């Protein structure tokens, strides 16, 4: 299985008074990883997001924490594709320090187009589907559980 990996050095402003990483930063780093992936592997999709033509909305996310992480440590954030269907993409994230799993997360993103009446669901752009396929953890497309229509 292949994964997209983003390396991150933890900064002091990402820690709390106890000295470990504040829990919400892991969710923030999921977004950094996803955006870096778009920049490297789906620049056309990133352009559409920048111009406001395409909206990628996180509709759910979760995290599990196993080991504390501290300032100035390097963390590898690995992203894989769990499933894609319709206008949704589900990704898994693993956060590792020197190959040690420190946290695990999940995120579902919905693709929408801006219209005169607001936003409307659209299929996952082909460029993004092709780019993500190399990072799939399943042999064929798996349906993402349906959620409320955005």
Residues 106, 91: contact at Cβ < 8 Å? yes
Compute the distance between CA of residue 131 and CA of residue 40 in angstroms, rounded to an integer: 10
What beta strand segments (E) does the chain contain? Answer: 4-9, 54-65, 74-85, 88-97, 100-115, 118-121
Tens of pLDDT along 15-55?
999 999 999 999 999 999 999 999 999 999 999 999 989 99
Tens of pLDDT along 89-147?
999 999 999 999 999 999 999 999 988 898 999 999 999 999 999 999 876 444 454 45
Report the alpha-carbon angle 49-81-61, nearest 5.
Answer: 70
Compute the distance between CA of residue 48 and CA of residue 16 in angstroms, rounded to an integer: 36
**Model pTM greater than 0.85?**
yes
What's 92's DSSP letter? E
């Amino acid at each position: 299985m292949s994964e997209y990996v983003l390396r991150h050095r933890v900064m002091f402003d990402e820690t709390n008074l106890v000295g470990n990483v504040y829990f919400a930063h892991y969710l923030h780093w999921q977004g950094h990883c996803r955006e870096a992936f778009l920049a490297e592997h789906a620049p056309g999709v990133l352009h559409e997001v920048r111009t406001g033509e395409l909206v990628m909305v996180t509709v759910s996310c979760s995290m599990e924490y196993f080991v504390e992480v501290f300032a100035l440590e390097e963390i590898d954030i690995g992203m894989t594709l769990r499933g894609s269907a319709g206008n949704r993409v589900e990704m898994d994230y693993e956060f590792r320090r020197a190959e040690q799993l420190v946290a695990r997360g999940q995120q579902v993103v919905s693709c929408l187009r801006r219209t005169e009446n607001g936003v409307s669901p659209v299929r996952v752009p082909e460029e993004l589907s092709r780019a993500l396929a190399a990072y799939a953890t399943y042999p064929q497309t798996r349906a993402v559980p349906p959620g409320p229509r955005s």
